[in-house]
Amino acid sequence: MSISAQNPDISGERQSGQDVRTQNPPKLSLFLMACQAVSNIVKNSLGPVGLDKGCTLMLVDDIGDVTITNDGATILRMLEVEHPAAKVLVELAELQDREVGDGTTSVVIVAAELLKRANDLVRNKIHPTSIISGYRLAMREACKYIEEKLVTKVEKLGKAPLINCAKTSMSSKLISGDSDFFANLVVDAVLSVKMTNQRGEIKYPIKGINILKAHGQSAKDSYLLNGYALNTGRAAQGMPLRVSPAKIACLDFNLQKTKMQLGVQVVVNDPRELEKIRQREADMTKERIEKLLKAGANVILTTKGIDDMALKYFVEAGAIAVRRVRKEDMRHVAKATGATLVTTFADMEGEETFDPAHLGSADEVVEERIADDDVVLIKGTKTSSAVSLILRGANDYMLDEMERALHDSLCIVKRTLESNTVVAGGGAVESALSVYLEHLATTLGSREQLAIAEFADALLIIPKVLAVNAAKDATELVAKLRAYHHTAQTKADKKHYSSMGLDLVNGTIRNNLEAGVIEPAMSKVKIIQFATEAAITILRIDDMIKLVKEDGQGDE
């Protein structure tokens, strides 16, 4: 329906009801189709075998930069999505990436499938409100069932289950061939940053793990460094290579010859006074540096510049100064060493002072050479441990994809350690929930049972896609899997069948808990919660108004 027919001042279109949700011509409103399109983009990057090895997607942006990846969140972030429904799925992947760190592809696939099945119900004259309440009930029951029946407590986690979680996360990534090596690297890195917060809870702040990428050598030459590495060298060659113990000042301003602010004018009557002004400008910077050195600082990091005149004073004092440090790195260094990021020397009285309490401390700061670059390493930090992963690889694309894979694995190991519960992977959880929810639907006498039954079927999309990507017979494997899980839920002596999942290399069913294909329970719970909420968000939309942009040049 044209809006301009109702109001001649506004041009655009309005679509209501079923037309908004389906892709039926002639209206062709793309809500469902847009979600399906987004799902299809990432669908073949799910799972450890099959198409995935070659389905790394090449994306070229506006300025010609190329990204080669099979990470769901990265693919969706790079896409220029305009459709509102597709945007919901892109934001959904980002939310999963932020909250859990992995499972971004799965959450988009499940959400699109839930929406597709909800749309079929709407066509069969089931009101969206009934579907939404059914989906919400199914989501709550599914999460409860995972936490009560499917999780395995991993008390006093040893390294083995952590390594298995990391390997499962890496299985669909570029580095899956070297997953044994990288899984150990990831677990060591996460365990290195263990800390206890003020409430006595043990936390693993993975932001304390800095990932540095260096060209050259093979991926298996990557290693873990004890210390936070800054991807920059000393500001001058005359500075010492090593300072121990280190007192670190973190600054967020220039250490350069002081210049008058814009708009400030100095009227000089005697030309001989000019030299005094220049000298005073130089002295002000010297005084600031002396305040830093008197406070005990022997390592000075700044996010801005340090000019040659200022460097002279640091060289004479035997201190290390580093300029142009990234703000993000500076925040992590300040947190790890107990330093305060200082933005100005001015105090409440208008004088310039530097409080020694603002200094952070570390056992030593040393410059080392990695590949062709100099890096400054801060070792033995005061408040929390900091480590660096040095990645080696052939080119930028390889290194970027390795970093994305390791980020996912680091997040998964952190979640496993903090939640202390794991579930079997390879479609085991989804199959068990499908069987359980299908049975639950038959016990309800309300119209929500139809939505719950469709929810149960929708979850099977994960094992189906895994099998299809591995070039296996999805119909046969999923049928066998459901049979195992039905047995597990009906026969008390077969409860161990609840860990049965897909073995995608051999195309069989196996106990994935024993095989070491495991994931943190939190990841599965969040996937179901987020996917359901996203599907409901789109399903609630009943009216879409699209206004046509007016031309910039109107009539005078």
pLDDT digits (tens, 9 = 90+) for 135-173: 999 999 999 999 998 988 887 567 888 899 999 888 878
289-338 confidence digits (pLDDT tens): 888 888 888 999 999 888 888 888 889 889 999 999 998 889 888 888 88
Q: Of 408, 416, 503, 532, which one is the catalytic site residue?
A: 408
19 is annotated as an active-site residue: no
* Contacts for 289 with CB less than 8 Å, ≥ 6 apart: 255, 310, 313, 314
Confirm whether 473 is a catalytic residue.
Answer: no
Contact 512, 428 (CB under 8 A): yes
Bridge partners, residue 370, by sequence: 373
The per-residue pLDDT for 26 is 29
Counting residues of the chain whose pLDDT is more than 70, the rounded percentage is 88
* End-to-end Cα spacing for the chain: 30
Q: Which residues have C-beta within 8 Å of that of residue 328, sequence separation ≥ 6? A: none
Q: Which residues contact 218 (CB under 8 A, 6 or more apart)?
A: 392, 393, 394
Sequence-ordered list of residues with C-beta below 8 angstroms from that of 555, at least 6 positions apart, any chain: none
Read off the pTM: 0.80
Q: Which residues pair with 89 in a beta bridge?
A: none
In this prediction, residue 25 carries a pLDDT of 33
Contact 426, 517 (CB under 8 A): yes
- Out of 93-97, 107-111, 238-242, 372-376, least confident range: 372-376
- 105 an active-site residue? yes
31-43 and 84-99 helices, crossing angle to 10°:
40
Q: What is the DSSP string of 190-235?
A: HHHT-EE-TTS-EE--GGGEEEEEEEBS-GGG-EEEESEEESS--S
Domains, the chain, ordered by start: 3-152+424-547 (1.10.560.10), 228-384 (3.50.7.10)
429-446, pLDDT tens digit by residue?
999 999 999 999 999 888
- The structure tokens listed for 282 are 């130089």
Catalytic residue among 22, 67, 104, 381: 104
Q: For helices 428-442 and 448-459, give the axis angle rounded to 10 degrees.
A: 160
**Cα(100)–Cα(462) distance, rounded to whole angstroms?**
18
> Nearest 5°: CA angle at 110, between 141 and 530?
60
Position 139 scores a pLDDT of 94
Catalytic residue among 105, 285, 337, 381: 105
Question: Residue 40, class by beta-carbon neighbours within 10 Å (0-12 exposed, 13-18 middle, 19+ buried)?
Answer: exposed
- Helix, strand, coil percentages (3-state) for the chain, rounded to 5, are 50, 20, 30
- The full DSSP string for 309-362 is HHHHHHHHHT-EEE-S--HHHHHHHHHHHT--EE---B-TTS-B---GGG-EEE
Position 508: which residue type? T
Residue with tokens 């009906």: 490
**Dihedral sign (CA 123, 129, 135, 138):** negative
Number of helical H runs and strand E runs in the chain: 18, 22
- DSSP lists the bridge partners of residue 545 as 14
Determine how β-strand 320-322 pairs with β-strand 299-302.
Answer: parallel
Region at 424 (left for phi over 0; alpha for psi -120 to 50; beta for the rest): beta
Confidence of residue 546 (pLDDT cuts 50, 70, 90): low
Residue 456, H or E segment? helix 448-459
Quote the CA–CA distance of 416 and 158 in Å, as a whole number: 11
Task: Decide: helix, strand or coil at residue 373.
Answer: strand
The tens digit of pLDDT for each residue in 46-92 reads: 777 644 333 455 667 677 777 777 777 777 777 777 777 788 888 88
Residue among 19, 52, 71, 503 flagged as catalytic: 71
Are 440 and 141 in contact by the 8 Å Cβ rule? The answer is yes
User: How far lies 303's CA from each of 233, 297, 421, in Å?
Assistant: 13, 16, 41
Q: What is the largest CA-CA distance in the chain?
A: 102
Asked if the model's pLDDT at residue 37 lies above 90, the reply is no
CA gap 293, 57 in Å, rounded: 52
What are 7-21's pLDDT values in tens digits? 555 556 665 555 555
With 70 as the cut, is the pLDDT of residue 22 above it?
no
503 is catalytic: no
